[in-house]
Chains A and B, each alone.
Chain A
Amino acid sequence: MSSTQTVSPPGAPPTKTGPSLVGRVLTTPTVGPLIFLVLAIAFFSIKSSAFLTGGNLSLIVQQVMVVGTLAIGQTLIILTAGIDLSNGAVMALGQIVIAKLAVDSGLNPILAILLGLAATTAFGLANGSLVTGLRLPPFIVTLGTLNIAFALTHIYSNDQSITVSSSTLTFFGKTFPLGGTDVTYGSVFMIALYVLAWYVLKYTASGRHVYAVGNNPEAARLTGINTRKLLLTVYATAGLIYGIASLLSIARTNVGDPNAGQTDNLDSITAVVLGGTSLFGGRGSVIGTLIGALIVGVIRSGLQIVGVESIYQVLITGILVILAVALDQLSRRRTA
């Protein structure tokens, strides 16, 4: 409407037009990971006919279900320029709380789930309070809560895993047929969580504030965003999501396992980074994280089916992480 009036002020540099469509696609951080995921699937499909089957693809999603869910919370926190080392341990604690209450104490499973979610949310809230209240670095805070959650898990469980048979607790591990393949409810639930997180981050004010806080916390504060409240909400929400991961973990393995999740903190960070989200905060996408988690799952499954030792999966993941971070840096240097 008013664009006809627009005149460049004297001495202004030539107006930059919006980036071209191709340029925009290539600089969208999720495109690289997506191309890579497709190529990885193509690669293993050529290598083995057992790879590209509905059953195996469903299995891969199941296998990334727990880390994938944890990675949603991790993405939220990393977008605010934080990091969460405690998520795997908090997830393990949530699992033990749910299993212990439901199996050993005979509590109603739904109530046990709610208490488990409350426990993990409380941990998220504790992380958030320490980060915003005492202004401690998230790395240190979550390193502390990692150990606290780990210890509580082992104390409370008495180091015993708890076999779970309740059909309520294992609901997300049950399957339904979808185009001739059995798909677990948990896989669908994880993907629904991703869609929800994507919507909130992209299309609501709170979501945009998460980016703003990670991108330039001072600017965000000065525009009137209550950054403390926002951070607290992000950490607490992440805690709640970890609780959901606890439930998915129980559903997947049918046990409350005190030793679960010990590398999930780094695995979830790996998924976030592979998905193109910047560890410096403020840039990235939760859909990228899903792709990142799937990349790890595809490589793990593919190498296993092709008959390569699992240690090579670790090797390749390491190389990919470095590549992803390097690409992030390079693309930023180009746009800066």
Chain B
Amino acid sequence: MASVQYREIEGRSGAYLALLGVLGALVLAGLGAAWLMEHEGHHITGMTNRIVWGTPHVFAVFLIVAASGALNVASIASVFGRELYKPLARLSALLAITLLAGGLAVLVLDLGRPDRLIVAMTHYNFKSVFAWNIFLYTGFFAVVALYLWTMLERRMNGYTRRAGVLAFLWRLVLTTGTGSIFGFLVAREPYAGALMAPLFIVMSFSFGLAVFVLVLMAACRWSGRSLGDAVLGRLRSLLGVFVATVLYFVAVQHLSNLYIARQHELERFFLLEGGVYTALFWLGQVLVGGVLPLALLFGAASRGALAAAAACVIAGGFAQLYVLIIGGQAYPQQMFPEKEVASSFFDGVVASYAPSLPEVALGAGGVALALALTVVALRVLPFLPASLADADVDVLGGTA
């Protein structure tokens, strides 16, 4: 087996410090937003009694889903034995941890009582998917940290495959749990159903890889390391397959609903008359998040096209989660089929919602936290290969 040289990034340049400074400022802004929301109460946000999960949850779920997906590259190396992906495995596992940390930070800081986090750690209702997820998230940190240790510590290399299998299985269960947070909501037509779990898994493949591709390209470029076409070519095809799979699942979801009479109004809302949600679905989720990346990935072989496709997948992913999470709540709950309903609680009408600055700041703070942790980690430990040039990865079967 060819050995790969890993090296920390230098991290002394002004650009490095400037990057950390910007990310740090965003993290601080996020913390400030959380403080404001906690002191003033959530009425300063766009969230209401009808839209109880807002923009912070879009960010948090994106980061959590992307975290498990970012691990895929490592899994392909360790579990499925693809040598070409091996040099990327450390960065992949690192991103899995940092993205999850960013997502959880947003989720926790949005709580009505974030000061009671200790309660969430000491009181469990084991029938709650949320409670399972608390174990799945903390367990994921532990399992991926163990996996990273087997990769970073030469004496532990022999255990990498086993740790990789464990981490791979754990991430599948984790994303099943994230999807089931929505799938188990029996009373919500836009969510309820077993499809949510596999849908979230394919979304994680796609979003996680898109984030990975962008971080890898930026890290190599900014640290002056070569990144060959062999690696990028593989990642390009992989991302294309994942994007297509997400589109397929979304199509199945909507086609199934279109067949069921009682879901017709729901589909009319999302596909035709839902205003901002319909626009975000077709333009954001389908066009920017699906069609455009596919055209870029399979139509052009340039690096710019790959980066643009990854950025599109991320933007489309945010749109998809916005439509799902916020649109799913905006759509009125159906208590009385075939009846028009009205009340002081806005029953029977599409709930209004507009993202507020504190919510966006908190969400962006989570993204910045994930990236800042990555940037610091890359400087402290050797996560990044010294070179990913074609000649260096060739020996790994890169061009085979």
Instruction: Answer yes or no: are A and B bound together in one complex.
Output: no
A residues with a Cβ closer than 8 A to B are none
B residues with a Cβ closer than 8 A to A are none
